[in-house]
Chains A and B, each alone.
Chain A
Amino acid sequence: MNTTSPLERVLRGIAITLVILFFMFPIFWIVLMSFQTNATILQVPPSIFFEPTLQNYRGLITGQLVTDTSSLEIKFMGNLFNSLFLSTTSVAVGLVLGVPAAYAFARLKFRGSEDIAFTLLSFRFAPPLLVLLPLTIYFQQLGLANTYGGLIWVYQLIVLPLILWIVRGYFEDIPADIEYAYRIAGHRWWTTFRKIALPLAGPGIAAAALLAFIFAWNNFIFALVLASADKQPVTVGALAFITASGVQYGQIAAGIILSIAPTFALALYAQRYLVEGLSLGAVKG
């Protein structure tokens, strides 16, 4: 039974269109900017008609930042690789550590379990700058400064609480009896964890991994302080676009497009599974 009137449907359509325009326009504009030179970008009034150029992308990929007055080296592709490597590895490590921990917090009630879980969550409360200064000193002493390993370790502050708390909720939603039924049919808890708990919490784990990936990808401050140019991700590398001869808007736009591409692709790919997981209703008693 459809109770919405035609007028309501039209109004709803208009409202949705407006919201989409509002949120998508900046991205649309960035896409346009990425195909322009600084000269056409900065003209007043702005125009959506221009002669497209690929020089921004070419510059990023070849590593030659050409400005009106000079030409300098830029390591954007290196930064992009760093972002990919750091985010992927951090999430992988976060999953290996976080998923079994989330299972333990969901299923086993042990002394102090809530306190430990809360402590892990509290990593998200403290402003990163607060921990960065002591961390910098530790890292220098330990030889972890400006290493991938050190960065991945620090990135656990971002990904581990996220994965732990999201996945824990999914594990708690699986009726324990399903696992008991599996265990009593002759399986150890480790098999049960792999064959029953993991697949049923799969959509939740995917959602947590995606979210953790995005958070790791967008991180700026840790890598800014703890790594030098050759280990820095795009978020930090983008600072190079602010040059002595002005801000390179075209290249920034192209850089943005290139750096959101992986997360965008990942989200599109994972979306199918996320929606599937949410609508399957597989874990109802």
Chain B
Amino acid sequence: MTVLLKLAGVDKFYGPIGQGVHAVQNIDMDVMKGEIIALLGSSGCGKTSTLRMIAGFEETSRGTISLAGREVQTLPPVRRNVAMAFEGYSLYPTVTVGENIAFALKAAKLPAAEVDAKVKEVTEMLEITDILHRYPTSVSGGQQQRASLARALIRDADLHLLDEPMGQLEPQLRTLLRGRIKHYIKERGLTAILVTHDQTEANALADRIAVMEGGVLQQFATPQTIKEAPANLFTGTFVGEPPMNVFSAQASDGGGQLQLDLGDGVHLNYASDAFAPEVRATLLARKDIMLGVRPYAVQRDTAGAEAQVIANQWLGDQSHIAATFARGTIVLVEHDRADVAVGDAIRVRLAPEDLHVFDKDTGAALSHGTHLA
């Protein structure tokens, strides 16, 4: 696989360099040809700024962007050969939906028959064949969004940029289209970067996810790696639904056992061989750590530590139990209907292989399960 897009030391300042808002901070990223990448993060994390720098709508304050073997950061958008679907759709209001979609192909003087065939293909995929003759302002937001997506996907560009491409769609349609869009992109060998704040979308569509926060690239890895080995506390708590439970803890050596003191009388004891020796050494050396555990990994066990149930919700296919635990709240997910009521005492066990340990000051991951990060 060849590298199609390479961001090296990319910075974005709004305002003077070094003084203005530092929206994107020193991002390095390689995107392979044929990959689908998701930029995932909350509002204002810099994901859209990154996308717009790649497209050429925002000036790159520092660093280089190479696309298909040439440096493009100073080129105007027209010379970068990228296609983009905009969050605000941005269809041309003066022409029909069909003309909007075919626009770039017609501008590139493709034969009419070929244009028609491509329009038919992409609009059938997105289920908007019935609105092609209508004007953008006369169709719904969801239809406009799909038209905007079609206008981008139809193009034969080096790179396709999709900014929140499915935000306006109903959940059923979104699930259906996700599969189709992924197939469409993969079948044609296109490379796509999508910006989203929806982790389900990122997980379903992307080969790799770039998690961003505060303008900083937190982690760039496969969905599975991000779930199993989050690089830091932010990624750990941001990705995953319900979010990871996090407790501050102190590690100590309790007569051969590794003891984690979570406060409020909660002590977790692990056998000396529960963790790899280097993990054990690291935890004991750090002493003050942050302990994370995914809600679905929390087990109820009569030998576990006590927690007081404060809520129990049955979602139809799983139970979400919240309980006061140590100095905070712990959330458990169970796949059966849990027969516990508010006020009940339950006992929970945090298995060593499910623990994620983070540095208390930097948030960097120290260990995942029984091994070092």
Contact = CB atoms under 8 A, between A and B. Distances in A.
Given A282-B94, A283-B93, A177 B78 contact: no
A182 B89 CA distance: 12
B131 to A, nearest CB: 17
A182, A196, A199, A283: most-surrounded residue (chain B CB, <10 A):
A182
Contact of A177 (B76, B80, B86): B86
Contacts of B155: 185
Nearest to B88: A285
Contact of B84 (A180, A187, A189, A281): A180
Contacts of B89: 285
B238 interface: no
B78, B80, B89: most-surrounded residue (chain A CB, <10 A):
B78
Given A177-B86, A187-B78, A282-B137, A182 B57 contact: no
A196 B90 CA distance: 11
Contacts of A184: 55-57, 77-78, 80, 82-84
Contact of B78 (A176, A183, A283, A284): A183
Interface in A165-187: 175-178, 180-187
Contacts of A257: none
A200 interface: yes
Given A177-B86, A188-B76, A182 B92 contact: yes
Contacts of B108: 186
Contact of A285 (B77, B80, B84, B90): B90
Contacts of A196: 92
Contacts of B86: 177, 180-181
A200 B93 contact: yes
A52 B240 CA distance: 89
B104 interface: yes
Main secondary structure of the interface of A (DSSP, over half): helix
Interface string B336-357: 0000000000000000000000
A197 to B, nearest CB: 11
Contacts of A180: 55, 57, 77, 84, 86, 90
A280 B135 CA distance: 12
Given A180-B84, A281-B137, A284-B137, A187 B90 contact: no
B5 to A, nearest CB: 15
A87 B66 CA distance: 53
Nearest to A183: B77
Contacts, number: 67
B332 to A, nearest CB: 42
A31 B89 CA distance: 54
A187 B78 CA distance: 6
Interface string A4-28: 0000000000000000000000000
Given A183-B77, A185-B155, A186-B107, A175 B84 contact: no
A119 to B, nearest CB: 24
Contacts of B84: 180-181, 184
Interface string A246-285: 0000000000000000000000000000000000111111
Nearest to A189: B76
A175 B148 CA distance: 15
Contacts of B275: none
Contacts of B92: 178, 181-182, 196
Interface string B67-99: 000000000111010111011111111100000
Contacts of A183: 76-78
Contacts of A281: 137
B184 interface: no
B159 to A, nearest CB: 11
Contacts of B94: 199-200, 282
Nearest to B135: A282
18 contacts: A175-B90, A177-B88, A178-B93, A180-B55, A180-B57, A180-B84, A181-B90, A181-B91, A184-B82, A185-B107, A185-B151, A186-B107, A188-B76, A188-B78, A199-B94, A200-B94, A283-B93, A285-B89
Given A180-B55, A180-B90, 19 more contacts: A175-B90, A177-B87, A178-B92, A178-B93, A181-B86, A181-B91, A183-B78, A184-B78, A184-B84, A185-B103, A185-B155, A187-B107, A188-B76, A200-B94, A280-B93, A281-B137, A282-B137, A285-B88, A285-B89
Q: Which 8 A-B pairs have the closest CB atoms?
A: A177-B90, A185-B104, A282-B93, A285-B88, A181-B90, A178-B90, A177-B86, A184-B77
